[in-house]
Structure formats: C-alpha cells, structure tokens
Structure 1
Amino acid sequence: MKKFLVLVLIATSLQFSNCKEEKDEPDPLFQLLALQSLLTSKNIFFNRVRYLDNKFYGVGSGGQIYVSADGDSWTRISLDTNQAINDIGYINNRFTAIGNSVHYTSADGISWSDISSTFSNTTFLRSLGNFGSTLVAFGSRNIYTSTNGLSFSSGVSLGSSLFPAYYESASNSNRMVVVGAEESNSASIKVGSFVSIFLTFSSNGVTGLSSAKQLLGIAYNGTRFVAVGNSGNIYYSADGLAWTAASSGVTSTIRAVVYAKDQFIAVGMSGLVLSSPDGINWTSKSSGSTVELRSVAYGNDKLVAVGRDTILVSSDAGNTWVNK
C-alpha cells in the first residue's frame, strides 16, 4: 500500500511539473508580435510636422527628427541632445531646428550642427516661420531673424507680458501674423512688419478677440487667415487685423491648421479633424485615431498629421487617414 502511494505521489508530481512547464513556456506568436511592436514603435512625442524642400519633417521629443519623401516610409535621425525639438524651418537651402535652448542647422536635413551659441537668449523658442526672405524664430518674448538659416540676429521683443507664449505664424506679402496667448490664457495676435531693418510686432489695430482663449495655429490661403486654439476657437480675417469668430462645432482644443487642396484642414485633441472650404463653415472628419494630433502639413499631394508615437497620412483631402 505504501509503495503504491509513493508511486501515485511521484506520478502526480511529474504531471504537475509538466503542466507547469507547459504553462510557463512562451508563446512564439506573442514573442513575434512583441518584437514587431518594439521595432515599429516610434517612441516620440511629435511637436511639429513640416513639408520642406520636397520632404516631410516631423520633430519632437528626445532630439528626434523623422524624414519622409512620400509620407509612407520614414527615416529617424537623432540629434546629440535629449531635449525636445519644437520646430523645423527652411530658408536659402538650409534647414534650422529649434528647441527650448538647443538649436541646429543642416545643409541636407541629415547631418546637423549645433548653432545654439548664435542666439543671445535661447529660452523657449517654439516656432519658425518664413516672412519673405527672412526666417523668424520665436516663442516667448524674444524673436530672432535670419536670411541664411545659419546666423540669427535678435529682434524687437514680441511679448508685452511677463510670460507670453506664441506658437505659430502665417504671412502674406505685407505682414507676418503670430498667434498665442498673453495674460490669463487670453488669445493674442501680433502683426509684424519691417521697420527699417527690424522686424517689429504689435497688437495695435487687432480686433475681434475679446473673448478668445489661447490660439495655437494659423494658416493663410492667399486671401484669408484662419486661426485655431483652445475651447474649439476658430477665427478668420482678411488682413490679420480684424478677426471674426467662426463656429467649429467642437469645444475641445484645436492644435493646428493648414490650407491644402482648396480647403482648410484643422487637427486637435482625441484625433480631431475638421475641414472647411472657406474657414467659416466647418465639417468634422474621422481620423480613426484617439491620439492628440499636434500638427499637420501638406505636400506631395498628401496630408500628414502627427501626435504621440503617431503619423497619420491622408491622400484624399482628409476624408480617410492611414496610421504609418
């Protein structure tokens, strides 16, 4: 009887051991999917996407730049910094990338050199914009201008409050319009033009924004400026001075806007996409994503929108989007 009991216990123990080994054995399919996810993960918080010199450039956290000629295949470039890159611009056959306190230049968009020392005060530069033959870097109170993308000169102060924040610009032949916020998160628009050799900004003559919240994006289609921002705010103007509110139909933050294929395309929180033929009447589109879309660009007959670890591409004017 004892011999039989011992054999039963041994058999049971072996059976339990075999079951445990089978349970702990990794699933090959799970391992393959995990490896695929690791290899394809972008691991970047995109701040901006631009279409420059016939290529898309997406910039963001960890000094990363993603480059694509067609919007479908992307190459990652890592700068020698852990700081986020806030924007990228192009002038006179040269690229410029800016962060809060680090700034780079490149002749080909691949090899980059640090030019932070050319800025007298490099704090909180958020955006780059073109005004004629001048590249303008701005963000907080200080602005910098360059005609070659390599050396920058300080300009007249942009902000009047202690901590202004400006995020984006658009220009016509006469003026450069920048959007952001001043005190109490209230919307602010500054209009710039050259006085002698200095690019000077002012809010004099700007009307129609008395109840507006912070503005984050702006685009120009040749006849009309459109600005977007917090709380679903959208404003339009023919001259950059007199602004009128439009109904977006949403209350969430709209982060950016671009003009493409005869319409304005705006993107924002939770995968928000809006379109309008005139900047006044807006229609909601489905992006198929719930990620906050922080920037949008148009080029090569495609729209590209970016967010956290996300690149969305549309080839049909924003009606359908594919996650790359």
Structure 2
Amino acid sequence: MKTSQTGFGHRLLPLLLSLLLVACSGNPGGGGPTSGTVNTPGGQVQVALQGGSFTQGPTVTQVNAPGFQTPYGGIGFTAQVPQAGATLTVTLTFPQDLPQGAVLLKCLSGNCTPIQGAQLSGRTATFQVRDGGSWDADGQANGRVVDPVVLGVPIPPDFTLSLSPTSLTVEQGGSGSTTLTLTPQNGFTGQVALSLEGQDGSPAPQGITLSPSSVNVSGADPVTQTLTLTVGQGVAPGTYALRVKASSGSLSKTANLSLTVQAPPPPPDFTLSLSPTSLTVEQGGSGSTTLTLTPQNGFTGQVALSLEGQDGSPAPQGITLSPSSVNVSGANPVTQTLTLTVGQGVAPGTYALRVKASSGSLSKTANLSLTVQAAGGGAGQSWRVVGGYGLGSVTYGNGLFVAVGLDGAILTSQDGVSWTAQTSGTFQWLIGVTHGNGLFVAVGDNGTILTSVDGASWTVQASGTSEWLRSVTHGNGLFVAVGDNGTILTSVDGASWTVQNSGTSNGLYGVTHGNGLFVAVGDNGTILTSVDGASWTVQASGTSSRLSDVTHGNGLFVAVGDNGTILTSVDGASWTAQTSGTFQWLIGVTYGNGLFVAVGVGGFIMTSVDGASWTAQTSGTFQWLIGVTYGNGLFVAVGDGGTIVVSP
C-alpha cells in the first residue's frame, strides 16, 4: 500500500502544476478583467492590459494640461500586477487616428509630463508603467498600479493683436499714433513683421506708411509698441479703412484701423486796417489813426509796426510812427492808436504812405495818406461855428464824423462842416458815441444802444438795462459803455451786451481806453480802471469833484470835470491835479494832432500839449460844448443849441 500511494502522489503533482499555469496564463494579474472601454468627450476608448488586470475603471477624469488640447479627457484606472515592482503594458485604442504631434501624458499632482517610450501609431497608443515607478500614481511597489493617462495634442504657439485707439485723424503731411498690444500664447516668441494694408487685404494707399516694421516678443508678457502712421502731403482727404497685419512664419493676425485724412488748416495770419486812412498834420505836430489788427487761424505774437512809402520806399525823413509794435494774445481783434509825428522841417504836401505790420514771414500793409500843412493857425488853435442840432457827443471813424444828441438825433459828415441828418429809429436822448472794429456804437437814456456800420443805417440793440448810458469807448476788441448808478456794460460785437460789476453806485460819465487799460470817471471824483472790462478797480483821484470825461493820448490819461478840474495820470492809478486857470465846468476832452482839447460850458475851450499847461481858446460860441473829437486833421466839438465848432 505505501508504495502504491507514493506512486500516485508523483503522478498528481505535475497535474496540479499544469492546472496552475493555465489559470495564471489566462488572467495573469489576478481575477479581474484585462480590457475595458470608457466613453469620453471624444468617443469610446478601449483600454487593454498586459501583465495585470483592472481592479477599478477605466473611467474618464478631468485634467488640466497647460499647452495641450485633451480631446478624450483623462483616462484613469487601477490595476493589479502579479508581484510588487512588476511592469504593466497598457494599450489605448481611440475611435479616430491620432492627431499629428499627439503625445501620451501622465498627469500627477496637477503636473502633466510626456510618457517616455510611449508608442503611438494609427489609432493606438501603447506604454509601460512599473509598479512603484515614476508613472505609478501611488508611487509604491505594492502590486497595484494607479494610472491616470491623457492623450495630449500640443497647442501651437500663437498670439493675439489689438490697437488702441482704433481710429485716427491726421492732417495731410502729418502723422498720428496708435498703441499695438501683442499678447503671446502657448509659448510664442520671436520677431513679428508689421505692415499696413486695406481691410480687404489690398495694399495701403500710396503715401500712407507705418513704422516700425517689426516688434520682438521674448517672453510670456504682452508686448506694447507705439505705431506711427505718416500721411504724405499728396494723400487725398477722406476716410480710409485699413488694418495692421502682424506676421511670423505661418502665423498672421490683423487689427482694423480707421484713418481719416484732413486737409491742414490755413496757416496763422492777420488782417490790417486803419481808421481814418488820411490825416492832416501841421509841421511840428502829430496826428493819430486807429490800427485794427484781426488775427486769423490762431495767430498770436508780437507784430512790428513801421512806416514806409506806398511803393515800399523809406518814409520821408522827419515823419515817424509810434508805437513800433503791438502784441496779439488772443482771437479778438486788437486796436492800437498810432501817432504820426511830423517834424518842423517836413515840406508841406501830401504823402502816400503805408503802415507795415510784420511778424516772422508775415507782412501786411495798410495805406495812409498824410497831408502836411505849414505851421501856424492849425487844428485846435482857431475855431469856427458851423451849426447843427442839440448834440451831446461826437466821434470819428472810417473817414466819417458822427454826432448824436436829443430825440435820437444823428448827424454825419466827411469834412466836419457839411452835415447830414440820419434816421436813428429812436427818440431817446443819445449821449455818447464811439467807433471801433468797423462799427459805430451810440448810447443814451433808458439803456438805449444803437449800432451802425456806415453811420447811416442804425440798429437798436438790447442792452439789458434801463439806466442812462452816458459814454462808450472801444479798445482791445471790446466795447465798454458806462452810465448812471455805476452801470458798466461790455460787448465784443456791439449787439450782445453783458452787465459788469463796477463796485460803485456813483454815476459814470466818461470812459476811454489807452495803453491796454480802460479808465472810467464819474461823480464824487470816481475813477475806475480795468484791463479786461470785467474786473474794475477803484482808484484814488484826490478830488470830490464830478469828473465828466476822460481821454488818452501821447502816453497820458487826462480827466476833466467841475470847477475846471483837470487830472492826469500815466498809469491810470496815480493821478495828479493840474492847474487849468478856470473854474468853468469842463465836460468833454479828446486828444489829436499832438494836442489835448477840453470843452465845457459857455463855449469854453482849452488846449494843452502835455496835459499840464493849458491855454484858453476862442470858440466863437457861448453855447455849452459837451463833446469833442479829432479826425482827418480836424477837431470837431458839439453842444447845446445845435452847436458844432471845428478847428481849423
């Protein structure tokens, strides 16, 4: 019996070993399956194992693989291998052929790394992972392989392009700029060529160029570059639909840009005019004309003034012009009183002259006819009565004398002797009149304001006040009117008027402009000054007498008033009382031909060369003289009873 059992045992052992080998070869990693399928975003993927079996999965997992597209997501599973440290072979079969450049990635702890040794062909990818090796997610040689795997398709390097602004307006012959922002993606670096073309891909219009022609990208941060578009002089005005094209290898991106080309504005310029355009001056005397310089197209700066013959020859010796320059600082016309001084030795006769205004390459002229008379018995020395209406003020401008007075009376004359009555359109008492910027402006009671270009056709303007307006002047492109209760109005065009705060309730009777300064005078010795006509400063006059009028000439302000009061000032702030030699009420004052002339009650007339020494003259009338002006070599004074007196 013992022998037969032993023989049976020897026969059974090989059989058991054979059965064990069969079982192992059919499921080498244990009892689980060796293949499986998983539905992914890209379709069904088959997973097959060699050298192990599934204990979990396969399943789809979410992955983030920077720089890669993952069309099938992540495929995760856990497999059992026969022994610790064994190697597992994994074959993935995808529903479509693998994209060019695709790689297998092992994604562990948020980091995705290409699997070394993986083989990809057609629709399959095969790789090996060793238990506890670098591709095993649990990192332990424990007979279990944790294997999240990803099919990654590299995203090619790229960039985006934008402009700011996306539209430009450029003058012919000029340039404009926009900022290009180039943002690299997926590791893009390198030189990018820049060019300009139409939005339809056509070449950019001739004469429109772009610079620079390239930009370099050396890192991951966006690159900004200022682009300059230069527009040639010959490019036609209009709007052009363009785009900036950025190219690098096979990459090409565009950003649209709208370009509007405009014709350049005309260069800065100015016009020049004189009023009056003819003067009569005695030997040794002087005369004045008002220059109006109107800036155009933004002209500003210092303008040199000179006197010459109308043929461009030098002015005759002994005839001089002052001042020698005028400053333009804004858009409004600038007015400047010009004084022509005639030496004693200048021969009598008529001279064809012109005033020349120069600034850089700009040069403009305005013609002026000067008649020189022999000395003696000239303007301001001898007076004669020529008659008229009840008048309160007179001015000269644009070759015309204009006098105003009671019941809306307006008279005009070219020579100061022959007068024509004009229709004013009002019966209000007109008390003051002036000329400036090609316009006559008359003011009067109840806030009356009239304007006229030619002295014949008059327009009633709204003043915004019912106060009596008693005087008006023009200077530095501005009309200024003054009146009762400290009223001050200003206007650029004579039509739209603005009420200003004078700072006083005293009546204001006279106003003038000189040396860049407005000066107004009135009751109780009131004197106000202003540079701009809006902000006024009260000045100390040193008198309580009523001041009726003020003028400026030869660098000096002269104010006159009650009881023969005469005050003078160089700057409008410091005033000096002068001895007039009379207690008569002086009502009006003017300057011309190198002479100050003051008029007043009883036909009183006084003259002075310097404003300090005064000489009484014979007027030929006992009527009150209220207003006086100078123009075209002639003094004209007007007053009560229709009185008009002229000199010479």
The Cα offsets for residues 4-50 of structure 1, whole Å up to 9 and x where unpaired, read as xxxxxxxxxxxxxxxxxxxxxxxxxxxxxxxxxxxx974x3211011
Are 2:477 and 1:139 aligned?
Answer: no
SS in 2 for 1:126: strand
Structure 2: distance between partners of 1:142 and 1:274: 29
Structure 2: distance between partners of 1:290 and 1:222: 30
Q: How does 1:3-14 map to 2 (within 5 A)?
A: none
Which amino acid in 1 is paired with 2:415? D
Choose from 564, 573, 576 the match for 1:244: 576
Are 2:472 and 1:128 aligned?
Answer: yes
CA deviation after TM superposition for structure 1 residue 95, in Å: 2.2
Relative to 1, partners in 2 of residues 1:41 and 1:290: Cα closer, same or farther, differing over 3 Å?
closer
Relative to 1, partners in 2 of residues 1:125 and 1:159: Cα closer, same or farther, differing over 3 Å?
farther
Relative to 1, partners in 2 of residues 1:247 and 1:134: Cα closer, same or farther, differing over 3 Å?
same
Choose from 292, 295, 301 the match for 2:627: 295
Are 2:524 and 1:190 aligned?
Answer: no
The Cα offsets for residues 283-302 of structure 1, whole Å up to 9 and x where unpaired, read as 11111111111111100101
Are 2:447 and 1:115 aligned?
Answer: no
Asked whether the equivalents of residues 263 and 276 of structure 1 are also in contact (C-alpha less than 8 Å), the reply is yes
Structure 2: distance between partners of 1:96 and 1:113: 10
Report what 2:407 is aligned to.
Answer: 62
CA deviation after TM superposition for structure 1 residue 234, in Å: 0.6
Larger Rg over CA atoms: 2
Structure 1: distance between partners of 2:450 and 2:543: 38
Which amino acid in 1 is paired with 2:515? S
Report what 2:513 is aligned to.
Answer: 171
The Cα offsets for residues 229-263 of structure 1, whole Å up to 9 and x where unpaired, read as 00010111111111111110000101111112212
Structure 2: distance between partners of 1:173 and 1:237: 12
Which of the pair has the greater relative contact order for Cα pairs under 8 Å at 6+ separation?
1
CA deviation after TM superposition for structure 1 residue 107, in Å: 2.5
Report what 1:97 is aligned to.
Answer: 442
Report what 1:255 is aligned to.
Answer: 587
Does 254-263 or 65-74 show the bigger shift? 254-263
Structure 1: distance between partners of 2:617 and 2:573: 30
Structure 1: distance between partners of 2:554 and 2:494: 25
Structure 2: distance between partners of 1:145 and 1:273: 31
SS in 2 for 1:281: coil
Report what 2:426 is aligned to.
Answer: 81
Relative to 1, partners in 2 of residues 1:92 and 1:263: Cα closer, same or farther, differing over 3 Å?
closer
The CA RMSD measured in Å over matched residues stands at: 1.7
Structure 1: distance between partners of 2:474 and 2:598: 20
Asked whether the equivalents of residues 387 and 645 of structure 2 are also in contact (C-alpha less than 8 Å), the reply is no
Report what 1:310 is aligned to.
Answer: 643
Report what 2:181 is aligned to.
Answer: none
Report what 2:611 is aligned to.
Answer: 279
Count of residues paired in the alignment: 260
Relative to 1, partners in 2 of residues 1:237 and 1:41: Cα closer, same or farther, differing over 3 Å?
closer
CA deviation after TM superposition for structure 1 residue 165, in Å: 1.1
CA deviation after TM superposition for structure 1 residue 146, in Å: 1.4
Which amino acid in 1 is paired with 2:453? A
Relative to 1, partners in 2 of residues 1:41 and 1:166: Cα closer, same or farther, differing over 3 Å?
same
Report what 2:192 is aligned to.
Answer: none
SS in 2 for 1:242: coil
Asked whether the equivalents of residues 436 and 475 of structure 2 are also in contact (C-alpha less than 8 Å), the reply is no
Structure 2: distance between partners of 1:174 and 1:89: 17
Which amino acid in 1 is paired with 2:560? V
CA deviation after TM superposition for structure 1 residue 264, in Å: 0.9
Structure 1: distance between partners of 2:503 and 2:469: 13
Structure 1: distance between partners of 2:558 and 2:489: 24
Q: Which runs of 5+ in 2 are unaligned?
A: 1-385
Structure 2: distance between partners of 1:146 and 1:277: 33
Asked whether the equivalents of residues 90 and 149 of structure 1 are also in contact (C-alpha less than 8 Å), the reply is no
Report what 2:256 is aligned to.
Answer: none
Which amino acid in 2 is paired with 1:180? G
Structure 1: distance between partners of 2:575 and 2:510: 17
SS in 2 for 1:123: coil
Relative to 1, partners in 2 of residues 1:170 and 1:97: Cα closer, same or farther, differing over 3 Å?
closer
Which amino acid in 2 is paired with 1:79? S
Which amino acid in 2 is paired with 1:270? G
Structure 2: distance between partners of 1:275 and 1:92: 29
Relative to 1, partners in 2 of residues 1:150 and 1:90: Cα closer, same or farther, differing over 3 Å?
farther
Report what 2:168 is aligned to.
Answer: none
Runs of 4+ displaced beyond 3 Å: none
Report what 1:7 is aligned to.
Answer: none
Relative to 1, partners in 2 of residues 1:252 and 1:41: Cα closer, same or farther, differing over 3 Å?
closer
Asked whether the equivalents of residues 92 and 149 of structure 1 are also in contact (C-alpha less than 8 Å), the reply is no
Report what 1:29 is aligned to.
Answer: none
Relative to 1, partners in 2 of residues 1:149 and 1:91: Cα closer, same or farther, differing over 3 Å?
farther
CA deviation after TM superposition for structure 1 residue 92, in Å: 2.9
TM-score (structure 1 length as normaliser): 0.76
Q: Which has the higher strand share?
A: 2
TM-score (structure 2 length as normaliser): 0.39
CA deviation after TM superposition for structure 1 residue 96, in Å: 2.0
Choose from 516, 520, 536 the match for 1:201: 536
Relative to 1, partners in 2 of residues 1:303 and 1:52: Cα closer, same or farther, differing over 3 Å?
same
Which amino acid in 2 is paired with 1:124? W
Structure 1: distance between partners of 2:475 and 2:492: 10
SS in 2 for 1:130: strand
Structure 2: distance between partners of 1:168 and 1:264: 16
